[in-house]
């Protein structure tokens, strides 16, 4: 798989908390091939109950959904195409998560999303053009943000990802592609940008872990001391890792498994780190894993 990256950057500051949405709009892979507009100029609908959130998130057509207060979803809420789901203010909280399956053009913005039940806080499967911006994602019993099953053209920006419960042995933040081995549906897909995110307390791995996809990972801050690995890459992945700050973490970027993969690491700052800083080509094109 050939690395094909469209964007470059200079080293900037990092936004470390959920704040008002960035008015400059989406950058990275979610901005190409038609871009990501979510609900666009549709009239905003404020929701305060689970019933209203489910009805509007799953409805056909463009919707701008404003979440006010705290809503416990119990299980994952299915989100249809052409939606913006945005917090009313910094206190807007979802306990549970969202799921996308075969949809496109979705924006999640200015929300706290906390794990509840055996679900990801956000899961994208076979979905494209999704922008995750100014989110606080925490304490999922599975992944915090998993982008799998031939999903494509997505950007994760200005988010904080963390865990408060160290007894959870699945503190694995963000997955790109569901697994190694043969994943033919993922080939040529999974273009994902991660920029200006804060990988924070008690995350152990997958910040992100990339397989098959092309990931551009820049201007992120890594302060997840006691972790196993930050960025993992393998199984035909290409990862451009630029201008990130790694502080007190283990294995800032590490080749995983035996299958051919590439990482280009440049301009990163490493402060009191240990373990791997793998850079270049690794593995065998003929390996299985």
Through-space distance between the first and last CA atoms of the chain, rounded to whole angstroms:
16
* Residues across the chain: 289
Active-site annotation holder among 63, 158, 160, 206:
206
Give the separation between CA 189 and CA 202, rounded to whole angstroms.
30
Nearest alpha carbon to residue 126 among 108, 145, 107, 153: 153
C-alpha distance from residue 241 to each of 45, 187, 230, 244, 277 (Å): 38, 21, 12, 7, 11
DSSP letter at 125?
E
CA 104 vs CA 6, 118, 121: distances in Å: 21, 24, 18
Active site residue 160: no
- Report the alpha-carbon distance of residue 61 to residue 86 in Å, rounded: 17
Q: Which residues are catalytic?
A: 206
């Amino acid at each position: 798989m050939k690395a094909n990256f469209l964007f470059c950057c200079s080293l900037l500051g990092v936004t470390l908390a959920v704040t008002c949405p960035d008015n400059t709009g989406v950058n990275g892979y979610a901005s190409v091939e038609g871009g990501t507009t979510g609900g666009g100029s549709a009239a905003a609908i404020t929701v305060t109950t689970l019933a209203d959130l489910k009805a509007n998130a799953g409805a056909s057509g463009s919707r701008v959904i404003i979440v006010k207060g705290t809503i416990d979803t119990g299980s994952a809420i299915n989100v249809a195409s052409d939606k913006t789901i945005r917090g009313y203010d910094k206190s807007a909280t979802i306990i549970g998560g969202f799921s996308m399956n075969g949809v496109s053009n979705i924006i999640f913005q200015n929300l706290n999303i906390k794990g509840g039940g055996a679900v990801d806080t956000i899961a994208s499967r076979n979905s494209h053009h999704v922008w995750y911006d100014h989110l606080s994602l925490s304490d999922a019993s599975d992944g915090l943000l998993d982008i799998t099953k031939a999903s494509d053209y997505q950007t994760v920006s200005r988010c904080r990802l963390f865990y408060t419960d160290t007894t959870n042995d699945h503190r694995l933040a963000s997955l790109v592609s569901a697994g190694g081995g043969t994943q033919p549906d993922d080939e040529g897909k999974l273009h994902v940008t991660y920029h200006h995110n804060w990988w924070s307390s008690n995350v152990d791995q997958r910040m992100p872990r990339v397989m098959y996809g092309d990931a551009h990972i820049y201007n992120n801050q890594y302060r997840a001391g006691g972790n196993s690995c930050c960025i993992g890459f393998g199984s035909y992945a290409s990862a451009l890792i630029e201008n990130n700050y790694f502080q007190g973490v283990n294995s800032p970027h590490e080749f995983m498994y035996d299958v051919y993969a590439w990482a280009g690491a440049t301009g990163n700052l490493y402060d009191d780190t240990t373990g791997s800083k793998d850079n270049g080509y690794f593995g065998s094109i003929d390996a299985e894993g």
